[in-house]
Amino acid sequence: MKLADKTILNILAKSCNAFLLLLSSVVMVRHFAKNDYGTFLQVMLIVNTAMLLGLLGAPQSIYYFYHRTVNQAGFIAQTVMISLALGLACALIIYFMMDVFALWLNNPDITNYAYVASAMIFFRGASQFREPLLISEGSLVLNSWLTVICGLFFYLPVIIGPFFFNMVSILIKLMSIGCAVEFLIYMITSWKLFMSKKGIYQHDKLEVSGYGKPSLKEQLLYALPIGASSYLGVIGKQIDQYIVSAFFLPADFAVYSRGALRVPVLSNFQLIINNILMPQYVNAYSSGNIGSFLGIFHRSIEKVAKIKYPAFAFLFALAPSLITLLYTNAYANAIPVLQAYLILLLTTVTVYGIVPRASGKTLCISCATVISIFGNIAISLLLLPKFGPLGAALGTVLSSILGGLYLLVQSCKILGVSFKDIFPWKYLGKLLLISFTSSLPLYIMQSAIAVQGIKLAALLGLEAISYSYICLLLMMKYALISIDDMEILGRWLRIDLKHWLPKITFCRYFDQK
């Protein structure tokens, strides 16, 4: 199986989890009052934030060290011990601080979930090391299957549970059991990988990398700046939700959170692509081949943008209908929040810390975190009095852009290239213009046709098909899609696109090639 197909499998596996999350929210808003649902979301907000920040970026260190170490078995064992220690430490901290979170988030009911939240943090936090280990080993297909299985164990309780239980506490306990299963899968996978590498030493890497096995100190020193940044600021990205929780009621937070969504499939697949490409980045930088590095970097950005930019234009136009269809009219105030969050699809076309990570100069990622966090707080508090919860969403978007720009500037210094060359700006500009142009008919249809329920779902489906058709035609006309892209589309969609697109478009397209 080609690397591109394996990458798509991993993206689809992650997408499965995202769709399960979306489905769970659709079910829960119809079975729980806003206050109860808001409490559930606040508990999960604490769990997810603690899980990401408490790991100190250690999972990301695997991508850097795994292919550079001679003793991979020893490195795996060391990594498992780190995951258990960090998961336990983080769980204990949250357990003893739950009263503080309850006061901060303006919801005393949160204290009732201290025990189960800590258990989820330990089990699921440690399990975050499974994916980097499998991807670094090249077991992309296995990782895809395990991602889907773990997602089913985690989300099915809150998808099926509301039909049988009307208590949030029961659902969270059931989710903790799913986390325990995921932890068991992680331990079994790590053990099998350890046994397969035991006694094998790749001495040919020693002269190149200098690592027999990275020490605990080396691994943590590499990971700590990434952990402090926590994927360019987990705190910076979620501080808006804490701010809304602190200034508004749980019911208001429930509405806000339905708009402040990371779009299923689209939100994080740039992370998957860049993690899979990480060995290529490290090799290109280590060999001093900056041209090759930029080539890989630009191609990954273009491939991500080909999906995210058209998706942004489509979802932005149809945001009112989507919120109404998924969450009913009671959550209509989430529409502007969703539209603000959709802007992140335009900016998150890459992992901005990929150059510092590949070069080992990860300290600047921590600086980007500081910019993102304090920028988010300042902008959100400034806009909150005038725009209400929407101001917090705008603060998140603007601070994310500031952090990304800082990392781009630092990346230029590391690679020794100009800001003009670090990104395929011209390509992105053309793609954005085409995406916006293709979406114009959607605004007309939305204003002219007013339907609800099944009819609305059918209308959205027709609009999606027509928009995709128009956008694909324009992208082909202006040579923004490669032959490889067309082959992948045809292979995965199981259709011959030549039968569905005008012949003249294909002629122009291949002539330009």
pLDDT higher at 310 or 14: 310
pLDDT tens-digit readout, 317-369:
999 999 988 888 888 899 999 999 999 999 988 888 888 888 878 778 778 87
Q: What is the pLDDT of residue 504?
A: 47
Q: What is the pLDDT of residue 177?
A: 94
d(CA 310, CA 277): 24
The number of residues in the chain equals 513
Name the CA dihedral angle for 185, 186, 192, 195, rounded to a multiple of 10 degrees. -150
Mean per-residue pLDDT for 178-194?
Answer: 94
State the amino acid at position 215 in one-letter form. Answer: S
DSSP-assigned letters across all residues of 106-162:
T-GGGGGGHHHHHHHHHHHHHHTTHHHHHHHHT-HHHHHHHHHHHHHHHHHHHHHGG
Residue 498 pLDDT greater than 70, yes or no: no
Residues paired with 69 in a beta bridge: 211
Number of C-beta neighbours around residue 236 at 10 A: 27
For residue 447, give both structure tokens. 């204003």
Strand (E) or helix (H) holding 344: helix 344-347
Q: Measuring CA to CA, which residue among 306, 80, 355 is closest to residue 193? A: 80
Number of C-beta neighbours around residue 38 at 10 A: 26
Q: At 69, is the secondary structure helix, strand, or coil?
A: strand
- 264: confidence class by pLDDT, cuts 50, 70, 90: low
DSSP-assigned letters across all residues of 43-56:
HHHHHHHHHHHHTT
pLDDT tens-digit readout, 339-348:
999 999 999 8
Q: Measuring CA to CA, which residue among 428, 424, 429, 422 is closest to residue 406? A: 422
Q: Measuring CA to CA, which residue among 233, 278, 222 is closest to residue 82? A: 222
